[in-house]
Amino acid sequence: MTVIDAPPAQVPDELSPQRGRWHRVRPFLPLVALAVLAILPYSTMSLPGIFEGPVNSPGTLQLLAICLIFGGLAAGYDLLFGRTGMLSFGHALYFAAGVYGTDILVTRAGLPLWQAALLTITGGTILAALLGAVALRTVGIAFAMVTLAFAQVGAILVARDFGGLTGGEEGLPLDVSGLPAGLVGVTNTVNLYWLALAYLTLVVFVVHRVSGSPTGRVLAGLRDDERRIGVLGLDPYRYKLVAFTLAGGLASAGGVVYVLIVGGASPHITSSELTLSLLVMVVLGGPGTRWGPVLGGVLYMYLDHRLTAFGTSDAVDNLPAFLSHPLSQPLFVLGTVFILAVYFFPGGLTSLAPRLSHLTRSLRPPR
C-alpha cells in the first residue's frame, strides 16, 4: 500500500499570527495618528524639499493647518457625494458662509469670536437646510445645476459687496483686535494648527458616527438604489435633507476656523472651482471610504501650495521652455497627477493598500 504524503495545510492569511496582531492593533491606529499630529508642533525636524522650514515653523504649521481644514471639508463633502450619491456643485457656498459670516460679525459688528462662531455655524446650517429643501426637489443633473445656481448667487453677492459688508473683490481683512490673544500673531500659529486639527477630528467623528448608524445605512441605500428605500416605506427626501444640512453645517464650521488661519475673507472661496476641488479631493482619496477623502484633501492642498512655489523656483526656470512652461502652472501639474491617479488607481489612494497586499501575497513563496 503506497502512502502519499499530503501537502501541508496552508494557514489562511487572516488566521496567521502576523495578521492577527495587525487586526488587534489596527483600531488604535487613528488614535496614534492623532497623537502624532498633536505633538508635531514640538518637532524641530527639517524636511528639505517637503517643507520650506522646520516642522514647527509658523509657515509650515499654517500650511499643515490649511491641509487639515480641507481634509475635514472633503470628509464632509463625501457625506453627500460618496456616501449618499448626491453630486452638489454648491458646497463652497456654506464654507464661504462660515468665512464671511465670522469675518463680518467680528469686524463689522464687533461681536466676540465665540458669539460670531456660534451664530455663523447656526446660520450656515439653516441656510443649508433651506436651500437643500428646494434643491432636493430635483434629482441628478438638475440637482447639481440648482446647487450651482445657489452658489453663483452667493458669489455675486460677495463680489458686488452687498450692503458694503464683504469688501467686494478686495476681500475683507479680519479685525484681530477683538480676538483672543492666543489666536493672534505669528507666535500663536501653533494654536491655530491645533484648532484645525480639532475641526478635522470633529468632522471625522461625526461622519463616521452617522455612517455607522441606521441613518447612515439608509444613506448608503439611497446611493445604491433610491427606489428600494422608497419601497421600504422610508422617505428618501427627508434622509437626503439631513445629509445635506449636516454637510453644510460642517462646512460652515470649517469656514470659521479657516478665516482665523488666513486672517480674512477673499472672493475666491465663493467660486464653484472650490467645490470642484472638493470633488477632486474625494475622488483622489477614494469616495465612500473611511479615510480616503481626508487623505485626498490633505494631499491636494499640500500639492496646490507646494507646486506654486515649485513652479517659480530656479530649478524650473532653468529647464527648457517646453518643460518650464507647463511645470510652472500648478493646475497643469495637479491635473496630470489627478488623471494618472484615476487611471492607475480608480478606487483612490485607499485602494493602494489592498493592491499592495494582494501583490505581496502573490509574490510570497508557497509554503
pLDDT, one tens digit per residue, over 200-219 is 999 999 999 999 999 999 99
* DSSP-derived secondary structure for 115-133: HHHHHHHHHHHHHHHHHHH
Residues 6+ apart with CB under 8 A from 172: 100, 103, 104, 107, 165, 166, 264, 265
Q: Which of 330, 299, 346 is nearest to 74 (CA)?
A: 299
- Give the C-alpha separation, 275 to 148, whole Å: 9
Single-letter amino acid code for the residue at 284: L
DSSP secondary structure letter of residue 105: I
Give mean pLDDT, residues 178-204.
93
Residue-level pLDDT at 339: 84
DSSP 184: S
Lookup: cell for 154: 452667493
pLDDT of residue 101: 96
What is the reported pTM?
Answer: 0.88
> Rounded distance, CA 333 to CA 39, Å?
32
How many angstroms separate the CA atoms of 268 and 271, rounded? 6
pLDDT of res. 113? 95
Q: What angle do CA 115, 117, 122 make, to 5 degrees?
A: 95
Cα first-last separation, the chain: 27
Range name among 96-105, 299-308, 347-356 with the lowest pLDDT average: 347-356
CB neighbour burial string for 305-329, b if at least 16 within 10 angstroms, e if fewer: ebbeebbeeeeeeeeeeeeeeebbe
Cβ proximity of 86 and 143 under 8 Å: yes
Ramachandran area for residue 220 (φ above 0: left; ψ -120 to 50: alpha; else beta): alpha
Task: Give residue-wise pLDDT tens across range 211-268.
Answer: 999 999 999 999 988 888 888 889 999 999 999 999 999 999 999 999 999 999 999 9
Q: What type of residue sits at position 298? A: V
Provide the 3-class DSSP secondary structure of residue 54: strand
